[in-house]
A and B are shown apart, each in its own frame.
Chain A
Amino acid sequence: MAEPDTKSRRPTSPHLWIYRWTITMATSIIHRLTGLALGLGALLLTWWLLAAASGPDAFAVVHLFVTSWVGRLVLFGFTWALSFHLLNGIRHLAWDTGWGFELKTATATGWTVVILSVLITLLAWVIGYHMLGAY
């Protein structure tokens, strides 16, 4: 008796990209992407902590990287990734309690998270540049 061909005849869902983008869809995939990005951010944090523990010479190398233009761009990205993932994480925790599933609410909280994450990132960098004068 032949085995049923389950691999090729399996019904597939319509391809994701045929749908019009909605904010709920976008925040969902961005949450996963920012999570992956923060994994790379954790590597930078580890490098920073190990360098601080190793001594001034090792620390100077990290300092040179994070103050370079590439470093600043990377850190700016991590600032936004952390802000977004944290805010959208709170949104997920609210969903876990059963709150916020109505389409109107989910759309509103989605936009709130996007806008707030950008504002927090900009605020952090404005304050950060002011701190540069402090040392």
Chain B
Amino acid sequence: MSIRTPLGKVRGLGAAKNGTAHWWMQRLTAIALVPLGIWLLASLVALVGADHATVVAWLNRPVPAILMILLVTAGFYHLKLGLQVVIEDYIGAESSKLVLLVLVNFACIALGFACVFAVLKIAFGS
């Protein structure tokens, strides 16, 4: 049993030193991804068999372009947080854990930005 007060504990922000930030951002992105995920599934079903011109014409419109950017941003953020927990749970060795966390962060940021760039290129392109 600790003699530290609840306030004293929370000031230190716990063992990870970032308090509830990870938990909160995972929930925040999860809530955003519920409607965005339904939209993605419905859109992809509607686009089954679509050729290049049809997909480009679709992403050329403001609403699909904005929703796609929101989806990939929230999605890759959510993926980064989720993969981080999986790595922290299953990878014991500190060095491999660190390397994997760096790789996951880099990959999620790079892929997320690549998606945003692709959508913007289509939206502003033709």
Contacts and interface: CB of A to CB of B under 8 A. Distances in A.
Interface of A: 32, 35-36, 38-39, 42-43, 45-46, 49-50, 52-53, 55-56, 59-60, 63, 67, 79, 82-83, 86, 89-90, 92-93, 96, 120, 124, 127-129, 131-132, 134-135
B31 interface: yes
19 contacts: A32-B86, A35-B86, A42-B72, A43-B111, A46-B115, A49-B114, A50-B118, A52-B55, A52-B56, A53-B119, A53-B125, A56-B51, A60-B52, A79-B41, A86-B38, A96-B27, A124-B41, A127-B45, A131-B48
Interface size class, chain B: 35 or more
Interface of B: 27, 30-31, 33-34, 37-38, 40-41, 45-56, 59, 68, 72, 75-76, 79, 82-83, 86, 111, 114-115, 117-119, 121-122, 125
